[in-house]
Amino acid sequence: MLGGVAVWMGVDVGGKRKGFDVAVVDDRRVLALLGHLVCQQVVDMVRETRPAVVAIDSPRSCAPDGQTARVAERQLARSVCGIRWTPDERHVHASAYYAWIVEGLTLFGALAAGGAEVIEVFPTASWTRWHGVRSRQTRAAWTRQGLAALGLAGVPARTNQDQRDALAAAVTARQHSLGLTETMGGIVVPAARW
């Protein structure tokens, strides 16, 4: 909460070099949009802003041992949009490709210790529910149009994909507080009709 107003936070997760992109929104506007943060900076932001919900664009867990994907990912892929699979913990920690997932798992753990309500989201699913299937558009054009359609005030004139995904996560967090989402095996997505 900032100044007595409810706020929501969305986090796009990157590896150690890229860091975290964070968006904070209220019910009408973007209050903050920051990039290249480290885990402790995100934790500090959560303590300072006290969002109603923090939505993180990263897997909250790995697949069970010996599995190549989580049930939630398979369910999401069948009903909303494609998603990259998260293998078991051994494979996640063995490959530099999954360094961003390791960072996301660390952030989930750090925030769980602080008592914040934290959810896993997948912005591509949010964009798909809000703006329709991407089709032949570039991802950048599709999410720029989707962001404009959300009608948030205070969106910078220029945003990159990580910022747009952090904003999608924040808006999904807001919808979750309003009961306008559904959960697919632990991944929160906007309801089909909202």
Write out pLDDT tens, residues 126-140: 999 999 999 899 999
Please report, for the chain, the start and end positions of each structural domain, with discontinuous segments joined by +. 8-190
CATH class of 8-190: alpha beta
Mean pLDDT of the chain: 95
Taking only the tens place, the pLDDT of each residue in 84-93 is 999 999 999 9
Tokens of 59: 């897997």
Q: 165 vs 58, 114, 153, CA distance in Å?
A: 11, 24, 16
**Residues contacting residue 145 through CB under 8 Å, at least 6 positions apart:** 131, 137
Please report the sign of the dihedral spanned by the C-alpha atoms of residue 88, residue 94, residue 98, residue 102: positive
Q: Which residue has the tokens 């990912």?
A: 73
| pLDDT above 90 coverage of the chain, percent | 91
State mean pLDDT over 132-149: 94
